[in-house]
Amino acid sequence: MGDGARLVTAPTGQRVLLDGRRVTLGPQPLKGGGQAAVYPVADHRQIVVKLYREPPGAEQERRLERMLTLTPLGGRPIGPGQPPELAWPTAVARGAGGEFLGYAMRRFGEPGHVQLVGLFTRAQRLRLFPERTDWRFMLGVGWNLAFMTARMHYEGLVVGDFSSNNVVVDANGFVTFLDCDSIAFTDPATHEEFPCLMQTADYAAPERLAGGPATRQSDDFALAVLIYQLLTAGNHPFGGVPRDSESETTVKDNIAASRSYVAAPGCVIVPRGVVDPTILPPALLALARRAFGPGVTHPAARPQAQDWLRALDEERRLARVCPDRPRHSHGSHLTTCPWCARAAVTGHDVFNDTSPTGPNPSAASAASRQTKQMHLMQPVQPVHPTQQKRRQRRREQAGPPSRQAPTWLPDTGRPLALGLTILVAVLVLVIVVNLAQGH
């Protein structure tokens, strides 16, 4: 093993050169993956250094050098308190002998920022952003994600490795893209093309899984998956197991086979507790079904970032707040709170750590009226014997399944009573006026 490879392991107190300035790295990485690890910098808390595990080649070095000449999104003003939108490289990291090791970038980490995947679990949401993370917050994060994607595409950038691990969000819902060294771009000065060679299977479009290049359309696919996960508290639209499967099936397998319960209900057996897609407002649900139906095999049919922006912007103004429980809000198309109904039936509150202390008559009444409104998808009964045995084991472990219907039925009790009262009052007023005119 050569000296360059030893340097990449970042021994205690390792020193690297950033634009000729010597800095000392921390002994332990903040995060790591198969390709690289990210280290803190002593006495410089605002920056980190990403070191590649294997000595990078000349092509990667050239990519970083050209990236340092660019200022993507530089013309857009950023408001007070808004973080940079891209963790763009700020300097090349080299060893004592001048060998290329990686690059420096601004630091984005807890507690100020959390990976987008952290918003998909209740525990992480409550730990990091306890006062903010209701459904409206998730809606706003989706809007910011769509806006950033549209902006990057406008400037000729393709995210490529677009996933919940490569985006961070702050308490105000602003998003920042990480791992910008894998972004696909064409150098405007030299016209060199730098493709994206990385991908994350659970967010990769079928053409990418088949070996195709990263494109705006493959970004559109990943964006649709992420927005759907945000609006359903983490449910992946390609989760589930095919009815006739004899072995475990992955999300990647379902994407490749164009199997999504959002676009084709019943094509897979979904896990217990999966949120029914109809919790999405109609305009957003229509976009999701385009993306996960015809858009899977026909990239041109996928909604673009601008399509999501318009639909999300409309719903941001209309979203309703539940009067019964904190952190409960929902789409304007629903007359009652779906999260209260879900908590009443399953005992699991998606947005709160525990139910309110003591009985809540209003919430209990709402839940009882919504027995048929429960938005847990019903697992489709399997056909294959092996799948039947697996299903039986799941039932024994999880207890009796819910028998609630997966459809939404509008709660018209209160509006109807109120409407009749108003109608009677108007009729009485008309009669009184006519009598007065008659005299």
Q: What is the DSSP string of 372-423?
A: GG--BPPPPPP-SHHHHHHHHHHHHHH-SPP---SS-----HHHHHHHHHHH
What is the distance between the terminal CA atoms of the chain, rounded to a whole angstrom? Answer: 109
Question: In this predicted model, what pLDDT tens digit does every residue of 365-407 receive, in sequence order?
Answer: 444 344 334 444 443 333 343 444 444 444 344 433 332 222 2
Give CB contacts under 8 A, 24+ apart, made by 235-239. Answer: 235/274, 235/275, 236/202, 237/261, 237/262, 237/277, 237/288, 237/292, 238/202, 238/292, 239/268, 239/270, 239/271, 239/274
Mean pLDDT within 179-195:
95
Q: Can you tell me the mean pLDDT for 100-114?
A: 90
- The region of weakest confidence among 115-129, 307-321, 362-376, 412-426 is 412-426
DSSP for 129-162? -TTT-SHHHHHHHHHHHHHHHHHHHHTT-B--S-
Q: How confident is the model at residue 219 (pLDDT cuts 50, 70, 90)?
A: very high
DSSP code of 271? P
According to the CATH classification, is domain 1-107 in 3.30.200.20?
Answer: yes
Residue keyed to tokens 């007359």: 335
- For residue 65, the tally of other CB atoms under 10 A from its CB is 13
pLDDT bin (cut points 50, 70, 90) of residue 432 is: very low
Check residues 386 and 281 and name the one with the higher pLDDT.
281
Q: In angstroms, rounded to a whole number, what is the distance separating the alpha carbons of residues 179 and 33?
A: 11
Does 184 have pLDDT greater than 80?
yes
Q: What is the mean pLDDT of the chain?
A: 80
Can you tell me which residue has the tokens 């957003």? 284
Instruction: Look up residue 119 and give its DSSP letter.
Output: G
- What pLDDT sits at residue 2? 36
pLDDT of residue 372: 37
Domain boundaries, the chain: 1-107, 110-425
384's tokens: 């294959």
User: Which percentage of the chain shows pLDDT scores above 70?
Assistant: 75
In this predicted structure, what is the pLDDT of residue 130?
78
How many other C-beta atoms lie within 10 A of the C-beta of residue 383?
9
The pTM is what?
A: 0.78
For residue 330, the cross-strand partners are: 320
- CATH 3.40.50.10310 assigned to domain 110-425? The reply is no
Lowest-confidence pick of 18-22, 90-94, 343-347, 430-434:
430-434
Q: For the chain, give the number of residues.
A: 439
> Which two tokens mark 44?
């410089």
